[in-house]
Structure 1
Amino acid sequence: MDPIQEAIEEIESRDPGDDFSYQAIAKKFGIDRRTLARRHQGLSTTRNAAHLVLHPEHEAELVQYIRTLNERSLPPSRAMIQQFAGQLAGKPVSRSWVTRFLNRHPKNLISRYTKGMTKERTKADSGAKYNLYFKLLLDKMKEYDIQPLHIFNMDEKGFQLGRLGGSKRIFDKSLWEKKEVRQALEDGSSEWITVMACICSDGKPLSPTLIFQGANGSVQSSWVEAIQAGEHSVFVTSSPSGWSNNDIGLAWLKGVFERETRRYASTGYRLLLLDGHGSHVTMDFIEYCHDNKILLFVFPPHATHTLQPLDVVMFKPLATAYSNELSGYLQDSQGLLPLTKGDFFPLFWSSWNSVFKAPLIKRSFEATGIYPPNPDAILKKFAKEASDSDSSHSKSTPPR
């Protein structure tokens, strides 16, 4: 790697706000201090535009797109800008490129960081953070007159084909003490299959999408033999990792979400709540939503375990139901039959139908304060933590 680029990478690896010296870094890598400063600050340009990651016109387009997202109340994160730039360049770009890009456009762009907090401060500040989240969410719902049948939450859940989740079992005491039997029979297949799920606050689920591990988009007939047209409403695709990617995310938006919810578009905007996963925040994904009356609302980072209906209420019982179905299958076969991808759907479909029912789906939106709108469903937890913390502190502080 170019020594100047190595030096820039070291600078970028530091925490935001950490002091550093161009002189010290330049000396360490044996390079000129002024050249390093210019390159890091984005002031040095190559003589040949072909060597640029993005052509200047593309950079100008990206600056304008960031402004457009801000006007829609969707200011992008650095990771999102990295993703956008990679799409324009046709190849991945580094995190340090994002920093240099921001430094090249100080009149148009500004970046603000939050500093790391202790566990106690995180708890204390979470209430304020979530209060802001609910204010933005409820203001948006009021502005666009969002109705219950227009509120959706989408997320992904991964399954390991032959692995059971943790559960309490009854063991023979002597065998347990001899460590001869300490776990239930498993098939052992760790191949990933991802389920893309979406639910509506009126209690209806959209058709699930299954992503098998395989060549992009190719699906073998043996994987889907159990799926019967007219009986099962499910979409199937594949990716090398078994996880979602940009293409699958956009295909889901157009082929599943738009197809199954477009009837609502004539009566108002649809609100789609999701996390900040890379496949959800591509330029194509965002623009399609904007063009089709779909309001995107991204949950705050590291908060889906508290704020997202699917995470808070739905996915745990789904995982438990799948483990129970898998356990029954393994008991029936006595572990003699290897588990294949074709076995997944019957086990999953039974689990899905037992969990994704209207009462539980409605409860998931209620538990997260989204619908009926009730921020106190979440904020009261932090008020109690703050009260307990204050009480504990007063008891531990001796009188003066």
Structure 2
Amino acid sequence: MHICVGFSINYMNQHRIRAFVDHRKIFMLTFKMAAIPGCGHPFVSGCGHSLFSLETLVFELESAIYRGFCYLFGFLIHFYGFFAMSTAKKSTEPKAIDINALVKAIKDCLIDKKQIKTTARSHDLPRSSLQRYLKKVEENYEDLSAVADDELTEFVRDCGQRTPSNMVFTIAQEKELVDYIFKCVKHYYGLSITELRELAYQLAKKLAVDYPANWDEEMMAGRHWYYNFMRRHRQLVLRTPEQTSLNRAKAFSKTNVDKFFANFDVLLTEYKFNGHQIYNMDERWTVPSKIGKVIALKGMRRVGQMEGAERGTMVTMALTVNAGGNSIPPFFLFPRKNMQTSFLDNVSSGTAGFANDSGWMCQPEFVRYMRHFITFVQPSQASPVVLLLDNHASHLSVDAIDMAVENSIHIISFPPHCSHRLQPLDVSVFGPIKSYYKSQCSAWQKNNANTPLEIRHIAGLVCKTLDLALTPKIIKSGFSATGIFPYNPDVFTDADFVQAVEQNKEEVALDVGIGEEDQRRIVVGPDVGREEVVTSSSEPTTSRSSSRI
């Protein structure tokens, strides 16, 4: 036994072999040699049995050494592969998915009922990705065959975008909000920051989505939501305002007027509106008329006349006329908490009246006016109409825009501070109404001696005034003088603009109380990647962490 072990060691030393040898095999061979007769003693190595055992041992050792080399080589290859895999730089960019191929694969699976595995392989798409998109499409569309390719492509592209954790709206809902902004920018010449935040709050209420509690406190979206929203939608930019006096000086300018007529021309070209489809609405505030001069004897120190008991009370009247010379019944707003039927005594048929705390036209009241307008005009897809308004904030709300779109009402607003020259009601209608209304109030006071003129008398007096002032000739002259109908974009000359600039330069500080933030307008920029403009250094940045959205 000792001879066998010694020979194996000497053999390995002579050939200077360094390898992993199967030692268990060697010891097993040693025990086998020990079992051969005559091999258990060191002095019987020359016998035939020991010679045969020695040759067997050499052969087994060579086999073990060969296997050791194989094990060593395999171990080195395995170690190198593991090391190479562990140190290889993994790509952080996911493989881009071909949207067009994905849309075709979705239609093949849902419409043609092909197998997911086969479809994914044929379009070179990951099967797991295809399954994920199929699930989202099935949740949003019941009949995929009725969906247009552009709409499906847009939906798939939106689904592939990563949604930030602090978003209030989904990607599809934010796209809907952007569409609202596009409509408002087109109709209202841009939105201020406050108007955008109010619009977002209204949309959140309408969609019944979860939003931060501080939105209800301010009745608008949070400031940090606004910054993050603008950062996600680079096609919207915030334009820095100019000084108020300069804005007024440039209000009625050729640039603003040309922009208004360009928007109006797009609608006229597409819909071919006639005079009975072009409407103009504006609000006016009526109060008990001032006491006019009366004839008295010379030398009398005191001359008295009964004055209205509620002088200073303002009642809003929304008046609507069209280029055909017709009008719809007026819409009144009374400064009362509760509406009383006596407020509409002696009014014309169809006159509507509501009450709020201020008597001013606000967004909820404008929605009521829109219902009033739809009731009498009856617009439809076969007979659309265009409604010309000023750019007052009360005309901007999600409900009003939805109602206008659903009923084929196209809204265009006049540029700021231009209604005195562009609005038909201001040009030809409200002047006669004011004169006739003063006469009606004076006549009423004479016919009702010792009776004060109260708020319940105003609507009836206004309706009598409208019967006298709203003649087709007066209404049509306003649309003609402004170039709206018949359409004449060159109705104003350069002399008109120069005169307007000189007059407006004298009107300074007429917008007192309007902050700089409310004057800044959000518009669609010419470059999608343009950065937003923030003029105040005190405003928080988007990188600042905050729990308020």
- Report the CA distance between 1:170 and its aligned residue: 5.8
- Report the CA distance between 1:172 and its aligned residue: 6.0
1:238 is aligned, of 355, 374, 383, to 355
User: How far apart are the structure 1 equivalents of 2:464 and 2:318?
Assistant: 16
Greater RCO (CA < 8 Å, at least 6 residues apart): 2
2:477 is aligned, of 342, 357, 363, to 363
- Report the CA distance between 1:201 and its aligned residue: 0.5
Q: Does 1:273 align with 2:385?
A: no
- Report the CA distance between 1:76 and its aligned residue: 3.7
Q: Is the 8 A contact 1:157 1:194 kept in 2?
A: yes
Q: Is the 8 A contact 1:197 1:207 kept in 2?
A: yes
Of 233-242 and 201-210, the range deviating more from structure 2: 233-242
1:56 is aligned, of 168, 188, 201, to 168
2:328 is aligned, of 203, 206, 218, to 206
Alignment match, 1:348: 462
Over the residues paired in the alignment, what is the CA RMSD in angstroms?
3.5
User: How far apart are the structure 1 equivalents of 2:492 and 2:293?
Assistant: 30
User: How far apart are the structure 1 equivalents of 2:366 and 2:318?
Assistant: 9
Q: Does 1:222 align with 2:337?
A: no
- Report the CA distance between 1:83 and its aligned residue: 2.7
User: How far apart are the structure 1 equivalents of 2:495 and 2:376?
Assistant: 36
Q: 1:113 to 1:58 in 2, by over 3 A?
A: farther
1:321 is aligned, of 429, 436, 446, to 436
Q: Is the 8 A contact 2:252 2:501 kept in 1?
A: no
Alignment match, 1:197: 319
Matches within 5 A, 1:106-145: 107-116=234-243, 122=249, 126-145=253-272
- Equivalent pairs, count: 324
Q: Does 1:152 align with 2:267?
A: no
User: How far apart are the structure 2 equivalents of 1:379 and 1:82?
Assistant: 39
Q: When the two structures are superposed, what TM-score results if normalisation uses the length of structure 1?
A: 0.70
- Report the CA distance between 1:64 and its aligned residue: 4.0
Alignment match, 1:70: 182
Alignment match, 1:31: none
Secondary structure of the residue aligned to 2:253 is: helix
Q: Is the 8 A contact 2:386 2:409 kept in 1?
A: yes
Alignment match, 2:57: none
Secondary structure of the residue aligned to 1:271 is: strand
Q: Percent identity?
A: 24
User: How far apart are the structure 1 equivalents of 2:496 and 2:454?
Assistant: 45
Alignment match, 1:163: 289
Deviations along 1:59-94, one digit per CA (max 9) or x if unpaired, are: 973564234542683464115313303424664238
Q: 1:297 to 1:101 in 2, by over 3 A?
A: farther
Q: 1:340 to 1:109 in 2, by over 3 A?
A: same
Secondary structure of the residue aligned to 1:208 is: strand
User: How far apart are the structure 2 equivalents of 1:98 and 1:68?
Assistant: 17
Alignment match, 2:419: 304
Q: Is the 8 A contact 2:307 2:453 kept in 1?
A: no
Of 196-205 and 101-110, the range deviating more from structure 2: 101-110
Q: 1:191 to 1:258 in 2, by over 3 A?
A: same
Could you tell me which runs of 5 or more consecutive residues in structure 1 were left unpaired when the two chains were aligned.
Answer: 1-47, 50-54, 390-400
User: How far apart are the structure 2 equivalents of 1:269 and 1:80?
Assistant: 28
User: How far apart are the structure 1 equivalents of 2:289 and 2:222?
Assistant: 36
Q: Does 1:258 align with 2:380?
A: no
What one-letter code is carried by the residue in structure 2 that aligns with 1:293?
S
- Report the CA distance between 1:341 and its aligned residue: 2.8
User: How far apart are the structure 1 equivalents of 2:248 and 2:497?
Assistant: 14
Q: Is the 8 A contact 1:102 1:110 kept in 2?
A: no
Q: Is the 8 A contact 1:131 1:379 kept in 2?
A: no
What one-letter code is carried by the residue in structure 2 that aligns with 1:361?
I
Q: When the two structures are superposed, what TM-score results if normalisation uses the length of structure 2?
A: 0.52
Q: Is the 8 A contact 2:198 2:221 kept in 1?
A: no
Q: 1:360 to 1:248 in 2, by over 3 A?
A: same
Q: Is the 8 A contact 2:251 2:415 kept in 1?
A: no
User: How far apart are the structure 2 equivalents of 1:120 and 1:112?
Assistant: 13
Q: Is the 8 A contact 2:329 2:351 kept in 1?
A: yes
Q: Is the 8 A contact 1:150 1:200 kept in 2?
A: yes
Alignment match, 1:187: 308
Q: Is the 8 A contact 1:152 1:200 kept in 2?
A: yes
Larger Rg: 2
User: How far apart are the structure 2 equivalents of 1:285 and 1:195?
Assistant: 19
User: How far apart are the structure 1 equivalents of 2:489 and 2:320?
Assistant: 22
Secondary structure of the residue aligned to 1:260 is: helix
2:198 is aligned, of 73, 83, 101, to 83
Could you tell me which runs of 5 or more consecutive residues in structure 2 were left unpaired when the two chains were aligned.
Answer: 1-164, 206-215, 504-549
What one-letter code is carried by the residue in structure 1 that aligns with 2:369?
W
- Report the CA distance between 1:115 and its aligned residue: 2.3
Secondary structure of the residue aligned to 1:377 is: coil
Secondary structure of the residue aligned to 2:491 is: helix
Alignment match, 1:377: 491
What one-letter code is carried by the residue in structure 1 that aligns with 2:480?
E
Q: 1:223 to 1:58 in 2, by over 3 A?
A: farther
Q: 1:368 to 1:124 in 2, by over 3 A?
A: closer
Q: Is the 8 A contact 2:281 2:318 kept in 1?
A: yes
User: How far apart are the structure 1 equivalents of 2:251 and 2:355?
Assistant: 43
